[in-house]
Amino acid sequence: MHGELLSKDFPAIDAIIKKYGERKEFLICILQDIQARYGYLPKEALTRVAEKLDIPLIQIYSVATFFKAFSLRPKGGHTIHVCLGTACHVRGAERVLGKIKRDLDINVDETTKDMNFTLKTVNCLGACALGPIVEIDGKHYGNMTTVKVESVLKKYSIKKME
């Protein structure tokens, strides 16, 4: 769904815009739908939205960068959220995060080269008793250690899936 496919995928974007009656006030809804379809906001899509809705591109870019829910970079197949809240922090969340960073060779907010993982941090998942906690695709893994997190990551890695 990424890259070259997209430049010919204007009908899909146009359909999303049409769904909202090509009205400016639904910009955020349109962006949300585009994000749901592609996993991020592709540059070409934003340019197309600007053309169709007749609003300056910079305004769309402002909105897209303002909200944390929007991403301008492609996301990996699995999204890892490492909790860095106070409870998780004192129990060694930093070490777990460091381990993930080393293993996947990425930084926070980055995606692995094979597009399999995107690493993010979060300030509290509301499950402090289970800290340090790591969430992958909505599934929570509590009481993480550097050893345990390795086996959890293996479950999601591409080699395992094949």
Among 5, 19, 24, 62, binds other proteins (CB under 8 A): 62
Among 3, 56, 126, 138, binds other proteins (CB under 8 A): 56
Contact 24, 62 (CB under 8 A): no
Does the protein bind other proteins through residue 70 (CB under 8 A)?
A: no
Instruction: Choose one: 29-37, 59-67, 106-114, 148-156; the region binding other proteins (CB under 8 A).
Output: 59-67
- Long-range contact list for 121-124, CB < 8 A, 24+ apart? 121/81, 121/82, 121/83, 121/84, 121/97, 122/81, 122/82, 122/83, 122/84, 122/85, 123/83, 123/84, 123/85, 124/83, 124/85, 124/86, 124/87, 124/88
Among residues 98, 90, 159, 149, the alpha carbon closest in space to that of 124 is found at: 90
β-strands 134-136, 117-122 pairing: unpaired
Among 5, 19, 65, 143, binds other proteins (CB under 8 A): 65
Q: Based on CB atoms, which residue is closest to other proteins, 60 or 88?
A: 60
Binding pattern for the stretch 86-125 against other proteins, x by CB under 8 A and - elsewhere: ----------------------------------------
Site size with other proteins, rule: CB under 8 A: 11
For the CA atoms of 132, 134, 135, 140, the dihedral, rounded to the nearest 10 degrees, stands at: -60
Neighbours of 60 (CB within 10 A): 20
Instruction: Choose one: 3-11, 55-63, 90-98, 110-118; the region binding other proteins (CB under 8 A).
Output: 55-63
Among 43, 73, 102, 155, binds other proteins (CB under 8 A): 43
Among 60, 80, 104, 136, binds other proteins (CB under 8 A): 60
**Residue numbers at the binding site for other proteins (CB under 8 A):** 43, 46, 56-62, 65-66
